[in-house]
Amino acid sequence: MIQANTLLPNDPSSSRDQQRGAHDARIQVGESFVSVYNTHLQHHFDSLRVRQMQKVMELVRADPLPTVMGGDLNSGPSTTTLQIAKADLTDAWDAAGVGSGNTVPKGRIDFLLYSDPLVAQTTRVYPSRISDHYPLYTRLTMSGSSTPICVPVFDEPLS
């Protein structure tokens, strides 16, 4: 496995801003390699969140491997931040969501997005007793295969 962390744009002049990053791990699944990106975008300033997503997507676009990108994006599905990501990636909820989709009580701010040849088979949100965010679960396969890309496969959330 190869991994890296890229610092995202921030505003050090703001006392409410923290340095954010995008973590990238390349994993081998069977004979294939997949890049997995995870990030937690800041929640105070829309314009900074947009710049952070632009940086994340620069990384994703430069990556030749099938890609999964997710995390707490602190943005709703129709925001500019999400539209930047959806220009190149598919929202697993839009593709295979079951249920309300809310990852926090008031909406959906946590996402899992992916590129071809990955395909979302099912996406669910589960209740949580340990966080104010609800876990998002997606079963992904490679197109033309019914074998999930994650081993072991969790059919239910871990307790």
User: What is the structure's pLDDT at 153?
Assistant: 53
User: What is the structure's pLDDT at 17?
Assistant: 76
Residue 155 pLDDT more than 80?
Answer: no
Q: pLDDT higher for 89 or 156? A: 89
Banded pLDDT at 149 (limits 50, 70, 90)? low
pLDDT tens-digit profile of 82-131? 999 999 999 999 999 988 899 999 999 999 999 999 999 999 998 888 89
pLDDT tens-digit profile of 28-69? 888 889 999 999 999 988 999 999 999 999 999 999 999 999
Banded pLDDT at 150 (limits 50, 70, 90)? low
CB atoms within 10 A of CB 117: 12
CB atoms within 10 A of CB 133: 15
pLDDT tens-digit profile of 9-23? 998 777 777 899 999
CA 46/CA 101 separation, integer angstroms: 22
User: What is the structure's pLDDT at 58?
Assistant: 98
CB atoms within 10 A of CB 14: 12
User: What is the structure's pLDDT at 129?
Assistant: 86
Q: Please give the structure tokens belonging to residue 56.
A: 């994340």
- When pLDDT is averaged across residues 131-147 and rounded to a whole number, the result is 86
Kindly report the CA angle at 88 between 40 and 100, in degrees rounded to 5? 60
What the chain holds in terms of domains, given with CATH numbers, is 2-142 (3.60.10.10)
Residue 138 pLDDT more than 60?
Answer: yes
